[in-house]
Amino acid sequence: MSTDPTLENLLDEHRRFSPSGDFSAQANVTGAAYAQAATDRLGFWDEQARRLQWETPWRQTLDWSQAPFASWFVGGTLNVTVSCLDRHVAAGNGERIAIHFEGEPGDTEQISYAELLARVSQAANALTELGIGAGDRVAIYLPMIPSAVVAMLACARIGAVHSVVFGGFSAEALRSRIDDAQASLVITADGGYRRGAATALKPAVDEAVANCPTVKHVLVVKRTGQDVALTDLDVWWHDVVDRQPITHTPASFDSEHPLFILYTSGTTGKPKGILHTSGGYLTQAAYTHHAVFDLKPETDVYWCTADIGWVTGHSYVVYGPLANGSTQVIYEGTPDTPHQGRWWEIIDKYKVSILYTAPTAIRTFMKWGDEIPAGFSLRSLRLLGSVGEPINPEAWMWYRHNIGHDNCPVVDTWWQTETGAIMISPLPGVTAAKPGSAMRALPGIGAEVVSDHGEPVSNGGGGYLVLTEPWPSMLRGIWGDNQRYVDTYWSRWSQFYFAGDGAKLDDDGDLWLLGRVDDVMNVSGHRISTTEVESALVAHPAVAEAAVVGANDETTGQAIVAFVILRSGADIPTDVATELRAHVATEIGAIAKPKKILVVNELPKTRSGKIMRRLLRDVAENRHLGDVTTLADPAVMMLISDGMAAGTEQD
Ligand code: PRX
């Protein structure tokens, strides 16, 4: 990708939303933080690290002499779980609810900080009894239930390294992750509840560990009570954990002691084990959770809808919120079980004040119709967050209006598994946010948009997003493959971290993420973001969701192919494809008109809700379908490719 002027700001977004005076007056962080961090970046992070409870103070904030391998808070020691649990209890907040758990079938649990500490202590004692020690790897393959949080924290408490594998992954995906990390224990459950039924987990574990000689035990939580075939490796959680003492004396670990590995897809078939360590990770998770969500531990009820299988679940369900002493909601199931208003019902029930979710969910709710959230109060909400992919202005506005009733700041937060914590986001009490823009790097973070040659682009220009300074929660490498770490992130320009995302700066210098670099299309020499075209399509009243890919085209280099889901109940024009092409031409320009538009009922999504554009490109380019096993619903692709074969081309 080059940064010639053809990478235009095709969508002209002029709307701005400032926080209310009341919100700003009570905000945790003011605009002064930017200046403070700019003047003394390391001093700023020192101050944030003091949010945590350290056993031994650090003697050096950052050691970058082994770049790109960072050490933060060098010489400091801590136990991450002491900052997340013990100190809240010691401060007299043991009775505060840490977790309101809502199971999909409607079962609930209220877990106080004192109770959570007791459960983590028991689990830590049990892990020790099972022979797990500091540095050992533990794979966690669980549904979204409190034991998942307990299992992660129990590992952290004894210095074991957790590797959470999303419960929707296959046996083979689990096996390869266990194998790569050489895990000696797997923590799982009989099953969990999804879409109104008990879904088994244990059979996938049995299949995976059959080929993993490093695994010495499988610790099984009873969640659903379904039949489980026990093997020699298996021990029930209730047998081994429940009989343990409810206290546990925590050891302290080096600030750079590994905390977790989390696998994420790269450009090759082999997932990368992203490695995070302790002091720096927790510092930035806690600070960003405080600053971006404006968390008030005494009064807020916070809900991040991510599964713990993803980094958002690590940083903004487990570590950030608990370090800050938050009260949060954890929900096990899907948003449409037993009805499409389940989330809004949960928000009213627990008086949730901060909601953090993903654009894909927001667009799904748009598709289901405004009347569903309108049937609930939602008055407790005071802040809304978004993460995971670019949020199109239309979805941003819908979220702000239909969920936030026009009086909640919306924070679009950009970050990655690799960054560990939020990097680019509005500050809710400070920023006049623009729908669809993640706005600015947070205080203490250096981000720029650069050209092919690594030179910063000027306002109005586009290029590659890079991170210019090391940050506390940065990945410390790829497990077992440090060369791949250097090659993937630090070789394009050795002085910058290459995030793999395209971005542009608007005339005010605010950042707009354009998606992964390989999602930027080139049509007749014009660079057009799939996100911009999708955004335009979704702005049409008949469209609920859209995915756009660039397909190879003999004439124009790439041609735009759009897959759209129509909004139920909307007025659908007879020739919808022609109308939508005209609409995109009006919204962006004739250059952005999709060559083909295919109306579909579903889009191929990973289980984390990301649209698999690669598969759509396969279909658009009439290629044999690639691997569909990571899709939430593999059958979707057959329907789409059949539809494509029957579709017509329009020029
Ligand atoms: O392309 C960016 C997109 O998600 C990628 C990181 O994915 P993952 O490691 O799975 O982490 C997702 C949750 C943090 C990024 O490279 N992305 C994430 N947040 C945003 C985003 N793109 C645009 N805007 C965002 N707010």
Average pLDDT over residues 255-271: 79
pLDDT for the residue 9: 44
Residue 268 has pLDDT above 70, yes or no: no
Mean pLDDT for the stretch of residues 137-163:
98
Most confident range, picked from 144-153, 165-174, 258-267, 633-642: 144-153
Kindly give the distance from the C-alpha atom of residue 417 to the centroid of ligand 1, in angstroms, as a whole number: 8
| Residue-wise pLDDT tens digits, 450-493 | 998 999 999 999 999 999 999 999 999 999 999 999 998 999 99
Residue 590 confidence (pLDDT) above 60: yes
Give 520's pLDDT tier (boundaries 50, 70, 90).
Answer: low
| pLDDT value of residue 191 | 97
Q: Is the CB of 389 under 6 A from ligand 1?
A: yes
Q: How far is the CA of 98 from the centre of ligand 1 (A)?
A: 27
Question: CA-to-CA distance for 160 and 125, rounded, in angstroms?
Answer: 12
CB atoms within 10 A of CB 26: 12
Q: Judge whether residue 524 has pLDDT over 90.
A: no
- Percent of the chain at pLDDT > 70 equals 92
Query: Tell me, what's the pLDDT at 170?
Result: 75
Integer-rounded Cα radius of gyration of the chain: 24
Does the structure show a pLDDT above 90 at 642?
Answer: no
pLDDT for residue 8 = 44
Greater confidence, 452 or 648? 452
Bigger pLDDT: 629 or 354? 354
pLDDT at 413 over 60: yes
Q: Is the pLDDT of residue 135 over 80?
A: yes
Please write the tens of the pLDDT for every residue from 434-459: 999 999 999 999 999 999 899 999 99
- 3-class secondary structure per residue, 107-171: CEEEEEHHHHHHHHHHHHHHHHHCCCCCCCEEEEECCCCHHHHHHHHHHHHHCCEEEECCCCCCH
Number of Cβ within 10 Å of residue 21's Cβ equals 8
Say how far apart CA 472 and CA 72 lie, in whole Å: 6
Residue 28: helix, strand or coil by DSSP?
A: coil
* pLDDT band, very low/low/confident/very high, at 527 (cuts 50, 70, 90): low
The predicted-structure confidence for 69-106, as pLDDT tens digits, reads as follows 999 999 999 999 999 999 999 999 999 999 999 999 99
Residue 597, pLDDT above cutoff 90: yes
513 lines ligand 1 (CB under 6 A): yes
- Confidence at 643, pLDDT banded by 50, 70, 90: low
Q: Is the CB of 438 under 6 A from ligand 1?
A: yes
Identify whether the C-beta of residue 395 lies closer than 8 Å to the C-beta of residue 536.
no
Interatomic CA distance for residues 194 and 238, integer angstroms: 23
How many angstroms separate the alpha carbon of residue 462 from the centre of ligand 1? 18
Query: What is the mean predicted confidence (pLDDT) over 594-623?
Result: 86
Higher pLDDT, 373 or 173: 373
Q: Which of 389, 501, 388, 515 is nearest to 448 (CA)?
A: 501
CATH superfamily of 540-645: ANL, C-terminal domain (3.30.300.30)
On the question of pLDDT at 526 being above 90, the answer is no
Higher-confidence residue of 572 and 121: namely 121
Kind and range of the H or E run holding 63? strand 60-63
Sequence spans of domains, the chain: 540-645
Q: How many CB atoms lie within 10 A of CB 429?
A: 22
Total residue length of the chain: 651
Q: What is the mean pLDDT of the chain?
A: 91
Predicted local distance difference test score (pLDDT) of residue 645: 60
Ligand 1 mean position, distance from CA 413 (Å): 8
pLDDT of residue 1: 38
Residue 519: per-residue pLDDT: 64
Choice among 119-133, 152-166, 217-231, 630-644 with the minimum mean pLDDT: 630-644
Answer yes or no: is pLDDT of 111 > 80. Answer: yes
Atom of ligand 1 nearest to the CA of 422: 14
Q: How far apart are CA 181 and CA 486, in angstroms?
A: 19
pLDDT band of residue 11 (cuts 50, 70, 90) is low
pLDDT at position 31: 97
Task: Kindly state the average pLDDT of the residues 240-248.
Answer: 98
Is the pLDDT at 628 greater than 80? The verdict is no
Mean pLDDT value of segment 193-205: 95
Under the phi-then-psi rule, with left for phi > 0, alpha for psi from -120 to 50, and beta for the rest, what region is 402?
alpha
CA of 498 to the centre of ligand 1 (A): 13
The CB of 461 under 6 Å from ligand 1? The reply is no
What global pTM score does this model have? 0.84
Q: Atom 25 (ligand 1): residue with closest C-alpha? A: 414
Confidence of residue 648 (pLDDT cuts 50, 70, 90): very low
Structure tokens at 103: 């199971």
Q: Is the pLDDT of residue 546 over 70?
A: yes
pLDDT at 176: 87
1-15 mean pLDDT? 50
- Ligand 1: which of 416, 419, 529 to mutate, most ligand atoms within 8 Å of CB? 416
The answer on pLDDT for 2 being more than 60 is no
CA of 309 to the centre of ligand 1 (A): 15
pLDDT at 585 over 70: yes
